[in-house]
Chain A
């Protein structure tokens, strides 16, 4: 019996640790927003992030004043930091949707305590991502008629056969649906904050945000339908978004871009990068706010495993890219592969990418590294760098050697390329800090459902409970009154 319990604990570890009740779960998570004094480290972190975000503002103003000539990209490398950073950010967002939607459909209960901030991460990452293509147009206020189909005085329309317009539709739908999903998840928790807030301004704000939610059974019934259907819609959506992002490349005729493996390889890379970012965020967060009972050690181990699995898919993608280049027997493809891997001037970026994304994750095979928060954090940082390099390699090495040797040129990023990229990180972390301060970082109502006392006994239970029920019934002298 003892062995069985140990085995069960190993196979199905509890997702909430410690001795918790509905009330203690609620208090612990909502106190971060409502009761506790804002910790000193919050001000330091927010201050730094906010200052870095100012760099973005300066960069944007300078860009709009001078045009995109201040960036380093020029023919033949017409796309560089703007698209690298766009793909990097949007990829990071994908883990949030994977956690909130796909793991929900797969009934993975461990998603429950990490989905809230993973979704917030998605939203903020998409906001950072969207900035790059918009600003790459140079005059974003004129770009509206290139991007959105509205009747304008010039009588022209966007080109719906172009992957770039597909991208506009995919990313704007993704941003909208992610925001809706996140907000729907927040409604019951805002109601909790409303009922617990002492400060009348906060109470008013949370009351408005909760839309008067009162936890009625009929409301929950429809709410659950909405939640499940949103998960069902987000799943094909998230797969389509990064597939379409990869179409930006693979629909073109350029060697190094024109590959059928791009959509699945990009989606796996997105999830890979996203899980790395979730780990980067949640390892410090669970310590600062003492959330180890909810974001348990087991959560980190699961995320490490997902990272390892998706990382291996990405490595398979690298291998196939090289294989198809060779197998195509096209001299341009073969040249591109050789140039990318050892002959070209950017060979170092390729090997750095292999070290970051291919070699570093091999450590995750070992329990020692999966169990160490320090190593998980370091590996996640390395993977984030690696995924950025992946887009650098795909974009810059494919473009800098044009079909005509007379057009060959090198690309190097300028100060304003870097300042804008670093500035979006500032914006991202500013938004994350604000989110942590004003919104419950863990979905309170979903964590309540994980507690054993959330189960209703005697009506609709699984097999094991049924057996206990039957035994109890036989023990009793009076018939049960259910």
Chain B
């Protein structure tokens, strides 16, 4: 292993084993860790100490932007730029303006929900060191993986690898950079 190492990875068969191992990794004090699973596991957030994302606040802010943007649009069009009486209603006829404002609120929120998620996740990411482990292709099929990055303060190749081997996984891999 002359190459630089990105981290050490262990493979598990079941989600229960993964969560147990993740708990022990967190208790041992490792911070730069990650887990990989073929479907979302709620228990892993707690086990790895993942904090709640700020994404919902971003979505809320985006929704408010859509709402105010919609209000601004109809106000500009019907009150400022081209005021014209239609159907005997006032220039600023809010009840009739609600549908477009409502739809823009949802449009902006949904766009932030998706693109905000991708942005915070750092996607698209065509390359990532974990893909260098051939067995990792199974992470999208049936296997569970736990990773400790070499950047972690407690990282020491020999000790960390021995620790990972003691977690009861199937196999432990070095992840080349």
Residue from A213, A214, A459 within 8 A of B47 (CB atoms): A459
Give the docked Cα–Cα distance between A237 and B47 (Å). Answer: 36
Cβ contact within 8 Å between B106 and A177? yes
Give the docked Cα–Cα distance between A236 and B106 (Å). Answer: 9
Interface residues of B in 130-159 (CB under 8 A from A): 130-131, 136-142
Residue from B35, B39, B106, B137 within 8 A of A237 (CB atoms): B106
Q: Chain B residues near A212 (CB, 8 Å)? A: 123-128
Q: Binary interface profile of A, 231-253, with partner B (CB < 8 Å = 1, else 0)?
A: 00110110010001001000000
Cβ contact within 8 Å between A230 and B45? no
Minimum distance in angstroms from B101 CB to a CB of chain A? 9
Give the docked Cα–Cα distance between A236 and B105 (Å). Answer: 11
Cβ contact within 8 Å between A482 and B82? no
Minimum distance in angstroms from B175 CB to a CB of chain A? 12
At the interface, yes or no: A476 with Cβ under 8 Å from chain B? no
Minimum distance in angstroms from A288 CB to a CB of chain B? 24
Q: Chain B residues near A457 (CB, 8 Å)? A: 16
Cβ contact within 8 Å between A453 and B15? yes
- Chain B residue nearest to A450 in the complex (CB): B39
Q: Chain A residues near B19 (CB, 8 Å)? A: 456, 459
Q: Chain B residues near A183 (CB, 8 Å)? A: 114
At the interface, yes or no: B50 with Cβ under 8 Å from chain A? yes
Count of interface residues, chain A, beta-carbon cutoff 8 Å: 70
At the interface, yes or no: A22 with Cβ under 8 Å from chain B? yes
Q: Chain B residues near A449 (CB, 8 Å)? A: 39-40
Residue from B48, B117, B141 within 8 A of A222 (CB atoms): B117
- Chain B residue nearest to A183 in the complex (CB): B114
Minimum distance in angstroms from B105 CB to a CB of chain A? 9
Given A184-B114, A458-B16, A217 and B140 contact (CB-CB distance below 8 Å): no
Cβ contact within 8 Å between B15 and A454? yes
Cβ contact within 8 Å between B123 and A173? no
Give the docked Cα–Cα distance between A192 and B14 (Å). Answer: 18
Give the docked Cα–Cα distance between A236 and B109 (Å). Answer: 13
Cβ contact within 8 Å between B86 and A161? yes
At the interface, yes or no: B36 with Cβ under 8 Å from chain A? yes
Q: Give the interface segment out of A84-92, A149-157, A274-282, A402-410.
A: A149-157
At the interface, yes or no: A388 with Cβ under 8 Å from chain B? no
Residue from A149, A223, A225 within 8 A of B77 (CB atoms): A149
Cβ contact within 8 Å between A161 and B93? yes
Interface residues of B in 88-116 (CB under 8 A from A): 89, 93, 96-97, 99-100, 102-104, 106-107, 109-111, 113-114, 116
Cβ contact within 8 Å between A226 and B140? no
Q: Chain A residues near B120 (CB, 8 Å)? A: 222
Q: Chain B residues near A169 (CB, 8 Å)? A: 99-100, 103-104
Residue from A160, A170, A240 within 8 A of B74 (CB atoms): A160
B: residues with CB less than 8 A from A are 14-16, 19-20, 23, 34-48, 50, 53, 55-56, 59, 73-74, 77-78, 81-82, 86-87, 89, 93, 96-97, 99-100, 102-104, 106-107, 109-111, 113-114, 116-118, 120-121, 123-128, 130-131, 136-142
Give 18 A-B contacts (CB < 8 Å), ordered by A residue: A26-B38, A26-B142, A149-B73, A157-B78, A161-B87, A161-B97, A166-B100, A166-B103, A169-B99, A169-B103, A195-B137, A212-B125, A220-B37, A220-B40, A223-B40, A225-B113, A226-B55, A449-B40
Known: A22-B141, A184-B114, A188-B38. 12 other contacts (CB 8 A): A27-B141, A160-B74, A173-B106, A180-B114, A181-B110, A191-B140, A212-B124, A217-B36, A219-B123, A225-B117, A240-B106, A459-B47
